[in-house]
Structure 1
Amino acid sequence: MAGKVLCEATKLYNILNQYTHIPRLAESNYLCLIDARAAESYNFSHIITARNAKWDSDRKFIMPMDVEVESMRYIIVYDSNTHSLLDSGPAIDCADGLEKASRFPVQILTGGYEKFSALYPFLRTQKILYNIRELESLNPYPVEILPGQLYMGDYRQATNPQILKDLKLNALVNVSDECSLMFKKANCTVLHIRIADSAEADFTTSFERMCDFISSHLNTASPVLIFSSLGISRCCAVAMAYLMYHLKYTLKEAWNHIHQCKASMRPNRGFVLQLSDWELQTVGKRVTDISEPNY
């Protein structure tokens, strides 16, 4: 059996918002999200794309017939407020049944629906069924690097007024080539550093300025979004630089953290070399071996 593990709310948030060209939620073997609460609670409101658990007359969980559990990358179960694997309740009961067939550990959402919906009310819905076209047309949110504080995304997300409102964003670090009048209309403070997504571009001289800008806003409880054109190279380098500068992460630790938040991240090779120099400056020595193909 694959076993059971806990899943923090921020991890589920990031899993829901992964995308390449289209949202990963459109992939048939990506996520099976099961709401183990009573049908009345589920019908009133649930997390986007969740299906309601089914039970037999003996209150035993019925495996969903239209889900290939053994091939599913993420299986996440939640009830109202389970906080521990030692708890008893419908989420644990569901996970007990699912783990027998899953290749990966079945994850139980810490704090359940109550905690997740309080943190991310904009990801609640009453919609039960999605066709493939609806899943492909979902608008993913920026991924969350530091819960409730630091986000990372692309230009399209940064210029979406609803996303800025939902995430309470009014401080942005723009490392794309584009600039939008929408930011002034939304009353956003923007630090715009024009950096080409090129191995020859100089990022190092701007790292400290960007890190100080981010910290100045986080210190006043103002969340910050770092974004670049596609959200996979330049903004990832800035996010790693921040973790290294203010939290004293090594490059490897920062890389792993950003990769867990956004699986498609890939700073170009020139940025990796500059981040290695940044590690020397912030940590005091080069700890991370950046030889390819790891970086």
Structure 2
Amino acid sequence: MAGKVLCEASKLYNILNQYTHLPRLAESNYLCLIDARAAESYNFSHIITARNAKWDSDGKFIMPLDVDVESMRYIIVYDSSTHSLSDSGPAIDCADSIEKASQFPVQILSGGYEKFSALYPFLRTQKILYSIRELESLNPYPVEILPGKLYMGDYRQATNLQILKDLKMNALVNVSDECSLVFKKANCTVLHIRIADSSEADLIASFERMCVFISSHLNTSSSVLIFSALGVSRCSAVTMAYLMHHLKYTLKEAWNHIQKCKANMRPNRGFVQQLSDWELQTLGKRVTDISEPNY
């Protein structure tokens, strides 16, 4: 029995927005999101890709036939407002039934639909069925690094006016080679650092400037998006540098935090060395051994 754990709203947001070449929601064994509320509430509005729970005559949850519980990476259940594993209600009842067969802990959305939909109203829908093609064509949002404040993404997301509007974006750190007129239309302040995604590129020289820019906007309750061309190397290095500067994280702590938010992040080897040098500069010593395989 894998057990039950709580899932914060920001974690579900990031799970929904993972992608490699295509959104991970298109993978059959990636996420099973179950809405345990009454059918009337579900039909009115639910979280994107969620399916409504079905119950038998004895009030026991019926697992959908097309879901392989044992191989499913994420099984997340929610009702209206469950906040604790000690609560009672349909989300807990549903998770109790599923956890007996699940390889991974069944996650219960903390705060339920009420909290998630208030934070991310743009991820609500009335759509019930999705084809594989529709799932593949979804536009993932930038991942959330500091809830409601700091985001990390790619150039395509940064030039999507709807995404910038939905996330109430005020400032952008552009670590790509391109610049777009979209940023002016979105009324965003932009710091553009032109640097190649090369192990020889000198990114550390701009860390201080970028950290000051990010902090100045976060301190005024603005939201900031850090992005690079593909959202994998340059932006993740800059985001780690900010966490090390602002929260005094070690490189290892910053790395683990970003990896939880975006599974396929990967600064190039040159940037990893510069982050190690930045750790020495910000903390006064090297704490993280970058010779370990994880880096």
Pair in the same fold by TM > 0.5: yes
Q: Does 1:49 align with 2:49?
A: yes
Partner of 1:65: 65
User: Equivalent residue for 1:107?
Assistant: 107
Cα distance in 1 between the residues matched to 2:131 and 2:185: 35
**Is 2:42 aligned against 1:9?**
no
Instruction: Determine the C-alpha separation between the residues in 2 that align with 1:130 and 1:236.
Output: 31
Contact 2:165–2:186, Cα closer than 8 Å, also in 1: no
Which 10-residue stretch deviates more, 113-122 or 180-189?
Answer: 180-189
Q: 1:82-231 counterparts in 2 under 5 A?
A: 82-231=82-231
Matched residue count: 295
Q: Report runs of 4+ in structure 1 exceeding 3 Å deviation.
A: none
Distance in 1 (alpha carbons) for counterparts of 2:87 and 2:187 = 45
The SS at the match of 2:108 is strand
Structure 1 residue runs of 5 or longer lacking an equivalent are none
Q: Equivalent residue for 2:80? A: 80
Measured after TM superposition, the shift of residue 292 of structure 1 is 4.4
Distance in 2 (CA, whole Å) between partners of 1:163 and 1:26 is: 20
- Map Cα deviations across residues 120-161 of structure 1 (whole Å, 9 max, x no partner): 000000000000000000000000000000000000000000
Structure-2 separation of matches of 1:159 and 1:51: 31
Counting aligned pairs with the same residue, the percent is: 89
Counterpart amino acid of 2:75? I
Tell me what 2:272 maps to. Answer: 272
Q: C-alpha displacement at 1:164, in angstroms?
A: 0.3
Aligned-pair distance for 1:293? 2.1
Question: SS at the partner of 1:259?
Answer: helix
C-alpha separation in 2, matches of 1:261 and 1:45? 26
User: 1:183 Cα shift?
Assistant: 0.9
Q: Distance in 2 between matches of 1:134 and 1:200?
A: 40
